[in-house]
Chains A and B, each alone.
Chain A
Amino acid sequence: MIALEDLKTTFRLIRRNPVSLTGLVIVLAFFAVGVTAPYILPYPEDAWGEVYHLEKRFLPPSLEHPFGTDEMGRDVFSRVLLGARFSLIIAVGVVGLALLIGIPVGLIAGYLGGRIGTALMRVTDMFLAFPPLLLAIALAATLGRGLTNTIIALAISWWPWYARLVYVQVNSIKSLPYVDAAKIVGLSPLAIMFKHVLPNALTPVTVQAALDMGSAILEAAGLSFLGVGVKPPTPEWGLLVTEGWTSINVAWWISLFPGLAILVTVLGFNLLADALREASDPRLRRILLVSGRV
């Protein structure tokens, strides 16, 4: 299986470069925390936000509460940990949904071309004509607050970028000699599309998707911050930053730690995306492997 060997080589390249490795570790840690968060919380009730401890309001970071407590006396550390889960759901949900719409649209438009292709790309262009965040805000406001609606709103403003990217790739790949060679060998158009065109078109899409996982977290946080995203008391990172914002002068830790969590996670995805870009280019990979530069 070439895909498996691809992964192995990619991992080997990432391991050799400390910057890429940092990115990978951050992303893996984010996934691990996101999946296990509900079971490792020091203060589960605080994390879910259903309780008040008025006697513990605005406690600064300490051993007992590493990230301090918020204005309702809830443990910020627990809330940030659980926030990773929501950010993970948002990141995977938004990018996954956007890929699910964008890849088929781009592939069909690019490979078939003609009237169908033009029609599909004009629809895509209509979506691209809106500033993406504005479109997401408008959609989120229309759909109402909530996790699912946030994901849907972001995915709808996101898929056209993937459609465009896949379209451009497919368009250039379909005229390459190896696609002609596949036709001459006698492969069906469908087989050519999935075996020869799509795998080669996906390289930049993988990179973009990794990059966008970070951006999706950032935009979801933005939506929450503006009050059209996830509903409180859900401990989503953007919402946590908002909650601490009013009391930033007395308790900086309430906003700082979820903010840092966003920063580190987005940085991790960016570093990883960069590593993937280098590793997924067959030509570049050959150079890197041979020269042992990284």
Chain B
Amino acid sequence: MIDEMTSILEVDNLVKYFPIRKGILGRVVGYVRAVDGVSFSIRENETFSLVGESGSGKTTIARCVLGLLKPTSGKIFFMGKDVTRLSKEEAKWYRRNVQAVFQNPFLSLNPRMKVEDIVAEPLKVHYKDMPKEEVKKHVYELLEKVGLTADLAKRSPYDLSGGQAQRVAIARAVILKPKLIVLDEPTSALDVSVQAQILNLLVDLKNELKLSYLMISHDLSVVRYISDWVAVMYLGKIVELAPTEELFEKPLHPYTQALLSSVPEPDPYLMRKKKRIVLRGEPPSAVNPPPGCRLHPRCPYATEVCGKIEPKLVEYERDHWVACHLYARK
């Protein structure tokens, strides 16, 4: 869907089911369909965001990309290589090139290690022969680059503020000069005042180091600020995918419209003009997703066909993809 030549990460029909086991024998009684056939690709030096409620499967996709989960089916290509079957050498290459920043820096940093050791660890794993002095030089340069003073290097993560700790996590993620960084809600555990600083740091690093980001978030203003592309997920599927401004200005899918209309509007004039689209009820469980379009029991525009046939993700306008019968009929 995006030009393959320049794409750095290609996710092709990714499926991840988690078996539900019961009893002492661990009989499988059902599956949680966390991710159910998702495809997208990320171009070099661009930010691709996955948005959706909790349970929509966005974090599962991130964990599959990071190799922390094995996909049930489907393929993930990184620079043309299938990452679900890498040789030992290729796996090291993949690790060097794909890193991650997690939501809560206090949980993603080992509390028993000092800041400089945390940041140095990737170098020690991938460049075992690098002299200690050089490792130290790299670490201190990088700490400065992410906006930390050298005196913090000897501290433990618990002595830092949330923003400082997230900077340490970012330093650890970029020290190997990766090509892709998975950002799993990188700002949602931080104070609002700190969020902007961290986002700006991420944008600066992206431009300077030619990084690509796969960002997972439910914070739409953060997504709009940082992304080039946005995919909206609902119950394990992408329902709409478009360039950021296009998606925010002209949302097509009813779910996207509802999601965007839930963002509070600070301008009272615009507020009155704004159309509120409210979905009925709660998202159904991913164990038994509704037949047809997964949104149809909650959708204000649902027709008969929505409960029977599952809409395909089609390119409604150039680069603007949507999975909804409202647009398929045209």
Contacts and interface: CB of A to CB of B under 8 A. Distances in A.
Given A185-B121, A186-B122, A200-B112, A286 B107 contact: no
Given A2-B114, A199-B112, A186 B107 contact: no
Given A2-B114, A282-B156, A282-B158, A184 B107 contact: no
A185 B107 contact: no
B108 A185 contact: no
B109 to A, nearest CB: 6
A18 interface: no
B111 A200 contact: yes
A122 to B, nearest CB: 12
Chain A interface, DSSP helix/strand/loop, else mixed: helix
B95 interface: yes
Interface in B103-137: 103-104, 107-114, 117, 121-122, 125-126
Contact of A181 (B100, B126, B156): B100
B159 interface: yes
Interface in A206-246: none
Specify which of A2, A186, A199 lies most central, judged by the most chain B CB atoms within 10 Å of its CB: A186
A63 B100 CA distance: 72
Interface residues of B, number: 31
Contact of A184 (B95, B112, B117, B159): B95
A199 to B, nearest CB: 5
A180 interface: yes
Contacts of B103: 177
Contacts of A43: none
Interface residues of A, number: 19
Nearest to B110: A178
Interface string B83-105: 00000000110011011101110
Interface string A111-132: 0000000000000000000000
Contact of B108 (A181, A199, A283): A181
B100 A282 contact: no
Given A2-B113, A282-B111, A180 B172 contact: no
A183 interface: yes
A176 interface: yes
A187 interface: yes
A2 B107 contact: no
Interface string A252-294: 0000000000000000000000000000001100100000000
B270 interface: no
A59 to B, nearest CB: 55
A286 B125 contact: no
A210 to B, nearest CB: 19
A281 to B, nearest CB: 9
B122 A185 contact: yes
Given A2-B113, A177-B102, A180-B102, A186 B108 contact: no
A196 B158 contact: no
B203 interface: no
A119 to B, nearest CB: 14
Contacts of B111: 178, 200, 282-283
Interface in B139-189: 156, 158-159, 169, 172
28 contacts: A2-B112, A2-B113, A2-B117, A177-B102, A177-B107, A177-B108, A178-B107, A178-B109, A180-B100, A180-B108, A181-B109, A181-B172, A182-B110, A183-B67, A184-B67, A185-B121, A185-B122, A185-B172, A186-B91, A186-B95, A186-B125, A186-B126, A187-B125, A191-B125, A200-B112, A282-B112, A282-B156, A283-B111
Interface of B: 66-68, 91-92, 95-96, 98-100, 102-104, 107-114, 117, 121-122, 125-126, 156, 158-159, 169, 172
Q: Which 6 A-B pairs have the closest CB atoms?
A: A186-B95, A177-B108, A282-B111, A177-B102, A177-B107, A178-B110
